Amino acid sequence: MSNRKIKEKGIESLLFASGAVTVVALLLLCIFLFRDGYLLFDNYPVSSFLTDTKWYPTADPEHFGLLPLFLGSVIVTIGAVLFSVPLGIATAIYISELANPKIANILKPVTEILAGIPSVVYGFFGLVVLVPFVQNTLKLPTGQTALTGSIMLGIMALPTIISMSEDAISSVPRALKEGSLALGSTKWQTIYKVTAPAALSGISAAVMLGIGRAIGETMTVMMVTGNSAVIPGFPSGLFAPVRTMTATIALEMGEVPQGSDHFHALFAIGSVLFITTFIINIVANYIKRRYRFNL
């Protein structure tokens, strides 16, 4: 075997090893997370974990009810989607189809800068500016509500949604749009009858990843949603404080004695969170592949 070939193989294995590290890390993480989460069920029944409506980890007897936290995450995320999806897709359409190149060249990098702002800064802004604003405008008992969290998360999910939708829309073949225009459709008809449906898979994937980003966000949510572990009503729950799964872990992991039921309960929540985002990612990938536009 020649020297050159060995070198070639060496580099190849090096790159393989780098790739393998990610997989190994993920595997170890899963094992650790699920094992510690599973230990909760030695002392606490799974059924109570899934159906109990109370989260009183330090009470006697303890209540580790997943429901208020899970639904808290869900309602905040739904709010974020309602806010960010229309805005994000509209921006993406504007950037890729309508804006003149000069404006598009400014808009696109600016939306991406939004992704670079640390989440604690978003949280601080939310706490100081948005919380009093929401409270005074809607005449609520407190401004720390699911809605406030949704708006902040919506803003944070925007860059993901905009840049991915924009890619999807730009990659719709020119021939399709030109064909539509040639048949006499207006620009707007072309966008909503031809371009948008053709890019739908990419847009859906963008939305799913935006949701994934929103559901996993911790710091911002913890600072602006009030963290009351109550089951939110819908839609009234949007205007009341809620607590998400992520905020619970962040709030309580400091105090919790290692190896206690409370400790394992936090890991169980972490597992649920992991599984949720995992499913969202798989669905996003599936949509992207299944409905990829083929010409």
Partner 1 sequence: MISGKLLKNIVMCSMVLLIITTAFIGIGCVDQTETVSQENTVSQENTEQESIIIKGSDTILPLSQAESEEFMIANPEKSITVIGGGSGVGIAALIDGEVEIAMASRMIKDSERENAEANGVNPVEYVIAWDGIAVVVNPENTVTELSFDQLKGIYDGSISNWADVGGEDLPITVITRDSSSGTYGYFQEEVLLDEEYRQDALVQPATGAIVQEVSQNKGAIGYIGYAYLDDSVTALALDGGEGFVEATPENIMSGDYPLARPLQYYTNGEASGLAKEYLDYVMSPTGQDIVSDVGYFPVN
Q: Inter-axis angle of helices 146-170 and 101-116, to 10 degrees?
A: 140
- Residue identified by tokens 């800068």 is 113
If 0-12 CB within 10 Å is exposed, 13-18 middle and 19+ buried, where does residue 220 land? buried
Q: Where are the beta strands (DSSP E) in the chain?
A: 55-56, 63-64
Task: Name the segment binding partner 1 (CB under 8 A); options: 1-9, 34-42, 73-81, 110-118.
Answer: 1-9
Residues 99-128 that bind partner 1 (CB under 8 A): 127-128
Asked if 132 is part of the footprint of partner 1 (rule: CB under 8 A), the reply reads yes
* x/- letters, 45..84, toward partner 1 (CB under 8 A): ---------x-xxxx--------x----------------
Kindly give the interhelix angle for 66-93 and 245-252, rounded to the nearest 10 degrees: 120
Output the smallest distance, CB 290 to partner 1, in A: 33
Which two structure tokens, joined as six digits, stand for 92?
A: 């993406």
CA distances from 109 to 95, 102, 119, 205, 237 (A): 11, 12, 19, 21, 35
**Contact status: 1 vs partner 1 (CB under 8 A):** yes
Binding letters toward partner 1, positions 202-231, x by CB under 8 A: --------------------xx--xxxxx-
The residues that touch partner 1, with contacts defined as CB under 8 A, are 1, 5-6, 9-10, 12-14, 16-18, 20-21, 24, 54, 56-59, 68, 127-128, 131-132, 135, 141-144, 222-223, 226-230, 240-241, 243, 250-252, 254-258
